[in-house]
Each structure stands twice: as C-alpha cells, then as structure tokens.
C-alpha cells in the first residue's frame, strides 16, 4: 500500500495528460497507445486492438506467483464527452468541444496505478488479474461488421475479455461523495439506458393542398403525445421507468408540408422485461401512426442493460475499501440511479460490483456533477482508487476480511 501512495505524482501526471488530450468513443488511439506502452514497460502481458468490431481496447494480463486462484477483471473506461470545458486549470482540454467530464481520465490513471503496483508485488497474487481498458462507454457506433449499435463494453465482451473470468469490478468517481469515501448499491446500481431514433417518411406538399401530401411533422407530433400514454398505461407503475425526447427535426420551409421527420431520445428502466416492453411499444406505436397517415417509418435502438451488483462481490469490495478508507467512510447507496453504464454488460455475464468513489471537495470548489463543463476532481481520489483495486487483487472471495 505504501508503494501505491508513492505513485501519487505519477498518477496526477498521467491523469492530467489524458485530461488535456481527450478522445471520443472509439477514437482513442493516443490514450490506448499510452496505456499499452505503460503496461508493457511494467512487464505485464498486453493485448492491443481488442474489440471484435472496432478493435480499440487494451487488455493487460498479470499472472500472480502466489499460487493458483481465480481470474479477476478490473475495468477502466478511456473515452471523453463532446462538452466544451469551462475550467481554467492548466491541464484543461486542448481540444475544442471535447472534455473528460465524466472522470474516465481518472479511471484510467487509477487502473494503471493498480497495474504497476501489482506488477511489482505479483508474489502476493493468487490467480490472474485482467486489466481491461475500454473505449466508447459514453455511447455507441454502428458496427462495420453487422450494423448494430455497439458500446465499447459489448465490443470487447464479444472479443472474449470475459472468458475465464470469475469476478469483475469497476470504480466510478462521484463528486457528490467527498474524497476519501466509497459508496456501493447492494443490488441495482444504475438503469438500462436505451437510446432510440424514430424517422417518419411522408410526402411533401403545399400548405394550400394538405390533402395531396403526407405530413411527417404531424406524425412526429402524434408520436410524442402518444408515447406518454404508452409509458403510463403499458408499464407497471410500481417500477422505475422514464422516457424523454432529446431532439426533433422536421421540414425545410415555413410553407411546405414536411416530407420527413426524426425524433431521438432515451428510456431508462431496471428490468429486462420492462426494456423489452418499451421497445416493442415504440415499434408498434410508430407503425400505427405511419399507417394511419399513409406514410412509413424506421426505428433504430441501442439497447441498454441495468448495472446489477452481485451480493458477494459487494461484500468483497466493501471489505477492501474499509481497509483503505476506514469503516465510517464506506457505505451503501440508495436509491439506484436512472443513469446508465455499460459495465452492466459485464455484470450480466459475470458476478461483480460497480462502486462509486468520492472525488468531491467543497472547500476546494470541486462540487460540479459529472457531464458538466466545470467538472473536476480532487486528485487524492487517484491513490484511493489504486489502493482499493490492489486490495481486491490480493484477496480472494474466501478471504474477504483479511
């Protein structure tokens, strides 16, 4: 643990360098190159170009010499957000309109710090540690192979990063929690965040002869209105579920009936059955509206999945955090968040836990939430995150309280 504490200056340097040079979605060539180079320099087996569809992830594998044991996966995300940074720090983003506003620069630095620490102490590891650095947590792109909209987690999972893994863990910074604390949800942590795009196709015409046209704007307006009924009447009111629109585009001139329209939005829920019900409801509603108007429709969906923690894994990460942060600084969080995270795809296949590590500091003015242009973090969180990852790696599920 003292080794990890001695890395603070290097961790800050890495985090600030990544913060200055943010990269979006799968366009993370610089970040992934830095990650792979550092892992290799520490004697860790590295696989570059991971991802069946986009090939931009990095996986490091460290075999412990302390005896046989399970395979533990630790994940960090590398991508930034299309946000214009408003901070005046010397390490502010050099790229206009792109910013690490969700702390992925810190996540990457923490996992690198853990990798370096564990590589220097591999005699304390029983089993194997797999360090996964993934792109595109913040969104998805259409696969060049099969056209599906895929986030980075799904891309890497389809390339086998979960093969042989017994447990998996990830940390996410949270400015609402003060630095030096950790919170974890006992079961559901975050919702399945699904994105949708609906397009209506009609026929253009003059406003003086609406009977000769098919109004795509009217179809879009009816869809927005009737979705409220779908959510109110087709979804169990005892469940947490929300749908909201983000954009609507239609038409080209003030006196011309719109030939096409496009709506985009998201819906969030916790149960797979609820996600499926909303998905099917959107398809049926769009089809009904288009048929009634004499037009056509197309719908695209990026399905999300809830982040659901495993009970034993929650106990394990809390035990590790208590050794680092003390008992009173580790707690359960409630209620779960309706925000989404693609670590849910990992947890759907392998037991594990997703925990939030505090990075806020009111005295220093570090109070802005993630995804905001003035987001920042107390860099003490970097060492705390390294130490928690290390504690996870040198324990086993049957030795949680060591």
- Catalytic pick among 23, 77, 79, 155: 79
What is the dihedral sign for C-alpha 361, 365, 368, 374? negative
As separate numbers, helices (DSSP H) first and strands (DSSP E) second, the chain gives: 10, 18
What's the DSSP call for residue 238?
Answer: T
* Catalytic annotation present for 155: no
CB 293 within 8 A of CB 333: no
* Catalytic annotation present for 146: no
Burial of 6 (0-12, 13-18, 19+ CB in 10 A): exposed
Please list, in sequence order, all residues whose beta carbon lies within 8 angstroms of the beta carbon of residue 61, skipping any fewer than 6 positions away: 44, 45, 46, 47, 128, 129, 130, 131
CB 361 within 8 A of CB 176: no
Burial of 205 (0-12, 13-18, 19+ CB in 10 A): middle
What number of residues does the chain have?
402
Residue 172 is labelled as binding a ligand: yes
> How far is Cα 79 from Cα 294, in angstroms, rounded to an integer?
43
CB 135 within 8 A of CB 45: no
Tell me how far apart the terminal alpha carbons of the chain are, to the nearest angstrom: 14
Minimal CA–CA distance to 108: which of 179, 33, 188, 51? 33
The radius of gyration computed from the CA coordinates of the chain, to the nearest angstrom, equals 23
- Catalytic pick among 77, 137, 155, 342: 137
Residue 371 is labelled as binding a ligand: yes
What's the DSSP call for residue 366?
Answer: B
151: left (phi over 0), alpha (psi -120 to 50) or beta: beta
Give the residue numbers of the binding site for Mn(2+): 102, 104, 138, 172, 371
Active site residues: 79, 137
Give the residue numbers of the binding site: 102, 104, 138, 172, 371
């Amino acid at each position: 643990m003292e080794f990890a504490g001695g890395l603070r200056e290097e961790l800050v340097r890495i985090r600030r360098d990544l913060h200055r040079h943010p990269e979006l979605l799968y366009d993370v060539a610089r970040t992934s190159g830095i990650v792979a180079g550092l892992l290799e320099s520490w004697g860790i087996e590295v696989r570059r170009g991971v991802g069946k569809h986009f090939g931009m992830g990095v996986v490091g594998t460290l075999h412990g010499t302390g005896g046989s044991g399970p395979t533990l996966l630790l994940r960090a995300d590398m991508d930034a957000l299309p946000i214009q940074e408003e901070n005046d720090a010397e390490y502010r983003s050099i790229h206009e309109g792109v910013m690490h506003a969700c702390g992925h620069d810190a996540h990457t630095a923490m996992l690198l710090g853990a990798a370096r620490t564990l590589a220097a102490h591999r005699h304390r590891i029983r089993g194997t540690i797999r360090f996964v650095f993934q792109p595109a947590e913040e969104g998805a792109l259409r696969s060049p192979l099969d056209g599906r909209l895929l986030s980075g987690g799904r891309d890497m999972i389809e390339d086998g990063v979960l093969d042989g893994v017994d447990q998996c863990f990830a940390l996410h910074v949270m400015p609402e929690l003060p630095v030096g604390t950790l919170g974890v949800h006992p079961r559901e942590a975050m919702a399945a965040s699904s994105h949708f795009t609906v397009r209506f196709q009609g026929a253009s015409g003059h406003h003086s002869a609406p009977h000769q046209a098919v109004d795509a704007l009217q179809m879009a307006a009816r869809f927005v209105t009737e979705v409220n009924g779908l959510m109110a009447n087709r979804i169990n009111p005892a469940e947490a579920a929300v749908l909201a629109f983000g954009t609507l585009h239609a038409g080209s001139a003030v006196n011309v009936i719109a030939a096409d329209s496009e709506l985009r939005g998201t819906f969030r829920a916790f149960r797979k059955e609820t996600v499926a019900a909303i998905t099917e409801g959107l398809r049926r509603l769009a089809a009904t509206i288009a048929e009634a108007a004499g037009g056509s429709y197309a719908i695209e969906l990026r399905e999300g999945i809830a982040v659901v923690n495993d009970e034993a894994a929650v106990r394990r990460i809390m035990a590790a955090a208590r050794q680092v942060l003390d008992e009173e600084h580790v707690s359960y969080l409630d209620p779960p968040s309706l925000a989404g995270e693609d670590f849910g795809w990992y947890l759907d296949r392998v037991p594990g836990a997703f925990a939030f590590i505090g990075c806020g500091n009111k005295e220093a003015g570090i109070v802005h939430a993630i995804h905001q242009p003035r987001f920042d973090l107390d860099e003490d969180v970097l060492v705390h995150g390294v130490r928690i990852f290390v504690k996870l790696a040198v324990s086993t599920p049957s030795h949680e309280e060591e």
